Amino acid sequence: MKLVAITSCPNGIAHTYMAAEKLAKTAEKMGHTIKVETQGSIGVENELTTEDIKNADGVIIAADKQVDKSRFHGKRLLEVSVTDGIRRPEELIAQFEKNEVPVYMEQTAAMKLKSVEEVKKERSQKQNPVYRNLMNGVSYMIPFVVIGGLLIALSLAIGGEPTAKGLVIPKESIWNHIFNVGAASFTFMVPILAGYIAVSIADRPGLAPGMVGGYIAANGSFYGSQAGAGFIGGIIAGFLAGYIVKAIKSIRVPQVIQPIMPILIIPLCSSLLVAAIFIFILGQPIAGIMEGLTSWLNSMQGASKVVLAMILGAMISFDMGGPVNKVAFLFGSAMIAQGHADIMGPIAVAICIPPLGLGLATLLGKKKFTNEEREAGKAALAMGLVGITEGAIPFAARDPLRVIPSIMVGSMVGAVIAMLSRVADHVPHGGPIVAVFQAVDHVLMFFVSIIIGMIVTALLVNILKKPVDADN
């Protein structure tokens, strides 16, 4: 017989290896071959390959720690404590000889309604590193955009006085201070984005070079440009800083210098390098791209606006909070700080339509959904109200071919209506909740867009779906 095994224990110092040794020796004595993967404090060693697992007649997991079993779907699998691996390896192997070990079946999507958390977890495991680094930066940046967008919108809406030059806040008014606080928060947006992208790549030493690089990217005066390289520059600065720090960290240095590496050498060298690259090479071209993007958005009229809204709407619902959704979301958020809150408006509408629309569908077409799904429908309504697209995931995971097109069409319709009626959203978040915070311009049309999108989604999904047995 060919066996594979995994051993692991909480401290990962001794038991893991004792069990591995014992299993290997015993298997050999009993005339079988075995490969043992150890998950100790040194890390994973002698890792089982897909090939190993494919060829194995059985799997032994001797562990007192959680071991991922998904690789062993369809294999005979015996799960015991690590001490069993040390104490009674003969018995374990004999169970395989006697054919007493059951086959391990992983629960698949079709068998189970996945929760939002499960899907999110799976996604983050599958994410590629570039995307993960980017999203780390974005998640730290968002609060700054929220504070900036919200305070500026509020102070203009309440404290502003209409003049020939548009809304102006009187100098002596308290709202002028609040406006400035919001503006201060915006200043941090790009440096934080860049800093935490770098942290995700190179850990803590990445922070300072990333933030300094981000600041330079955002301030065109460093390289003789008026506009600055904006969020695209920030992203590039973050990745540059991260990889430069990572490279410097991997250089072997004499023991004497080691203590000053993280506080002196690494930040200094990498900051200077990132700064030089931006000032002399990248700054101007990226600033040019940003200017182009802004003037393109300014010049957009009628038909092209509709196309943009359709694309953004479709992207938002396509993977419900996944990478495609986040790209559209990031674009919208970045445009708020560039003075284009009217891009975020349609996105905010599109964000809440999938969960709200599906929730509505479960109320309208009771026969088309299982009991479980109808429960998920209520949760989806609640999540939709606070702008969490992920609320639609349980439905889409079960029946993607009918659900995803329905929500995409619904979000596209909603986004187009919002775009044409100039709905703007000053915070990077979606759903009715943002209207509660006074962050939306043209509130009435904001709700009209959402409601129409919801109805379109609900009707479409109920037409496409077949009735299910109630007790299924």
Partner 1 sequence: MNMTELVTKELINLNLQGSTKDEVMEEMIDMLNRTGALKDREMYKKALYEREMEGSTGIGFGIAIPHGKSEAVKRTSIAFGLKRSGVDWDSLDGEKAKLIFMIAVPTEQAGNEHLRILQLLSRKLMDDDFRERLLDARKVDDVVQWFAQII
Annotated catalytic residues are 9
* Residue (13 or 470) nearer to partner 1, CB: 13
Could you tell me the smallest distance in angstroms from the CB atom of residue 67 to partner 1? 17
15, 45 contact by CB (below 8 A) = no
CB 136 within 8 A of CB 200: yes
Q: How far is CA 102 from CA 24, 60, 99, 182, in A?
A: 22, 12, 8, 61
Nearby residues of 430 by Cβ (< 8 Å), 6 or more positions away: 347, 348, 349, 350, 351, 352, 387, 389
**Least Å distance between CB 81 and partner 1?**
9
User: Measured from the CB of residue 27, what is the shortest distance to partner 1 in angstroms?
Assistant: 13
> Please, which residue, 17 or 186, has the CB nearer to partner 1?
17
Q: Is 162 helix (H, G, I), strand (E, B) or coil?
A: strand
Q: State residue 325 phi and psi, 5-degree precision.
A: -55, -45
Nearer to partner 1, 65 or 442 (CB): 65
Pick 86 or 383: Cβ nearer partner 1: 86
Contact between 206 and 195 under an 8 Å Cβ cutoff? The reply is yes
**Alpha carbon of 83 to those of 60, 67, 254, 351: distances in Å?**
13, 15, 43, 51
Nearest residue to 35 (alpha-carbon basis) of 18, 22, 47: 47
Count of all residues that appear for the chain in the document: 472
- 16 versus 200: smaller Cβ distance to partner 1: 16
Rounded-to-integer distance, Cα 255 and Cα 183, Å: 46
Footprint on this chain of partner 1 (rule: CB under 8 A): 10-11, 13-18, 20-22, 25, 38, 40-43, 64, 83, 86-87
Name the DSSP letter for residue 107: P
Smallest distance, partner 1 to C-beta of residue 254, A: 16
Nearest approach in angstroms of CB 13 to partner 1 is 5
Residue with Cβ nearer partner 1 (21 or 118): 21
Decide if 387 contacts 302 (C-beta within 8 A). no
Least Å distance between CB 193 and partner 1? 31
